[in-house]
Amino acid sequence: MRNRLVPLVLLLLAPAAARMPSDQKTLHALNRLTFGPRAGDIAEVKRVGLEKWIDLQLHPETIPENPIIETKLHEYPQQGIAAVDLIESKLLRAIYSNRQLHEILVDFWYNHFNVFFNKGADRLFVTAYERDVIRPHVLGKFKDLLVATAQSPAMLFYLDNWQSVGPNVRVPSKQKMRGLNENYGRELMELHTLGVDGGYTQKDVTEVARCFTGWTIRQPRLGGDFVFDPRLHDRGEKHVLGVTIRAGGGIEDGMNVLDILAHHPSTAHFISRSLAIRFVSDNPPEALINKMAGAFLASDGDLREVMKTMLAAPEFWDEANFRSKVKSPLEFVVSAVRSVNADVATTIPISRLMNEMGEPLYRKQEPTGYSNRGEDWLNSASLLARMNFAISLAQGKLAGVKVETDQTADLGLTLASPDFQRR
């Protein structure tokens, strides 16, 4: 435990952190590393100690889970699930889990590697994608997460790589392949790793796509799993970001690409910047991003170490960042429910209101995922929907949600206030 705490105690010595009073630090940590404090959370953090509390959140396996989840949450089934049940699971975990940072990171990385639920067979794949691909890797090595997403039927189907074949491949007559598909190769570099300014070219996109030919799905319409089909693979020589991948390879061509990208300095910078935008500021300082990128490269892409570096940096604790970010609809509704200790029997009315706020869960059609920039959630329709939600919650008029408090309009206005909408 002592070694784990060493980077975190540095926050007490950081010059910028000193400008943030102790109580403000506690609230800042709760606002950024949870979906919003519940009654008693501030006192609990003070009892445990801020540094130890952060360390526990970075090691969610050490935190006993809230037993109420077992009574409210149906376990994930092994395969497809109705969208409403999938949304219910996500919202209940966000509201009740004691492993709050872990739940935030699951949401962050799902958006980073976004998959659209409503695209055909992805209705069968998204549940396992979040459960088996995203959730286990959010505090592990980035390469492991990258490989898991690349071999996920959900991603293969969403970005059409399951139908991609080499230009000189003879496709079996019963298979409806469409030639070389560059969708995954492009998004892999632009959105998943290097970033749009990460130094790749259109030629790299084509070469990466060639490397992933044959990465497909066994019986996709029946919810099948990943399979590499050597008959569909382009076995020619490829050149990716200046690296030659020799002719005659198979599945290792794609694995080599993932290794190149996972260890590229542009990836370290892009991932660090994305995390800093989510947790620190819509426009994080380059000095902080460089510290995080350095930790990424030094630790072989250990995402827990990157998070530790961010949380130990004075930039995270700069007073200018206190309540500086606008909450996304997900953060807003969950933080409101948590703040009043509401008892949630069903999340269906909540999710419907989230749709009105512009964030229908699992239904971001574009591969970008939902924005981590607070300013992107500022529009009149969303703000009106937020106010209506807050007043309905406070007055006990939100179906399936019971509030143990005086049901007054004042509380609704508090929840709808600009101050509450920021974290």
Place of tokens 């937020």: 386
Assigned token pair, 330:
């997900």
Amino acid sitting at position 410:
D
Query: What's the 3-state SS for the chain?
Result: CHHHHHHHHHHHCCHHHHCCCHHHHHHHHHHHHCCCCCCCHHHHHHHHCHHHHHHHHHCHHHCCCCCHHHHHCCCCCCCCCCHHHHHHHHHHHHHHCCCHHHHHHHHHHHHHCCCCCCCCCHHHHHHHHHHHHHHHHCCCEHHHHHHHHHCCHHHHHHCCHHHCCCCCCCCCCCCCCCCCCCHHHHHHHHHHCCCCCCCCCHHHHHHHHHHCCCEEECCHHHCCCEEECHHHCCCCCEEECCEEECCCCCHHHHHHHHHHHHCCHHHHHHHHHHHHHHHCCCCCCHHHHHHHHHHHHHCCCEHHHHHHHHHHCCCCCCHHHCCCCECCHHHHHHHHHHHCCCEECCCHHHHHHHHHHCCCCCCCCCCCCCCCCHHHHCCHHHHHHHHHHHHHHHCCCCCCEECCCCCCHHHHHHHCCCCCCEC
Nearest-angstrom CA–CA distance, 22 and 200: 45
User: Can you give the pLDDT at residue 79?
Assistant: 46
The length of the chain in residues reads 423
Place of tokens 């130094």: 199
- Taking alpha carbons only, the member of 62, 32, 2 closest to residue 315 is 32
Query: Which residues, in sequence order, are CB contacts of 269 under 8 Å at separation 6+?
Result: 195, 289, 290, 293
Place of tokens 């799993």: 225
Q: How far is CA 76 from CA 151, 251, 419, in A?
A: 20, 30, 36
> What is the pTM for the complete model shown?
0.92
Contact 102, 139 (CB under 8 A): yes
Query: Which residues, in sequence order, are CB contacts of 350 under 8 Å at separation 6+?
Result: 91, 333, 337, 344, 389, 398, 400, 401
Residues paired with residue 120 on neighbouring β-strands, in sequence order: none
Contact 371, 129 (CB under 8 A): no
User: Can you give the pLDDT at residue 223?
Assistant: 84
User: Can you give the pLDDT at residue 163?
Assistant: 94
Radius of gyration of the chain (CA): 22
Place of tokens 């992933």: 212
Instruction: Give the chain's largest Cα–Cα span.
Output: 71
Assigned token pair, 113:
């590697």
Nearest-angstrom CA–CA distance, 128 and 78: 7
Burial of 76 (0-12, 13-18, 19+ CB in 10 A): middle
The pLDDT profile of the chain, 423 residues, written as one tens digit per residue, is 555 655 555 444 444 444 688 889 999 999 999 999 999 999 999 999 999 999 999 999 999 999 998 888 754 444 445 678 899 999 999 999 999 999 999 999 999 999 999 999 999 999 999 999 999 999 999 999 999 999 999 999 999 999 999 887 776 655 565 799 999 999 999 999 999 999 999 999 999 999 999 999 998 888 899 999 999 999 999 999 999 999 999 999 999 999 999 999 999 999 999 999 999 999 999 999 999 999 999 999 999 999 999 999 999 999 999 999 999 999 999 999 999 999 999 999 999 999 999 999 999 999 999 999 998 998 888 889 999 999 999 888 999 999 975 545 567 778 888 889 999
Nearest-angstrom CA–CA distance, 161 and 211: 11
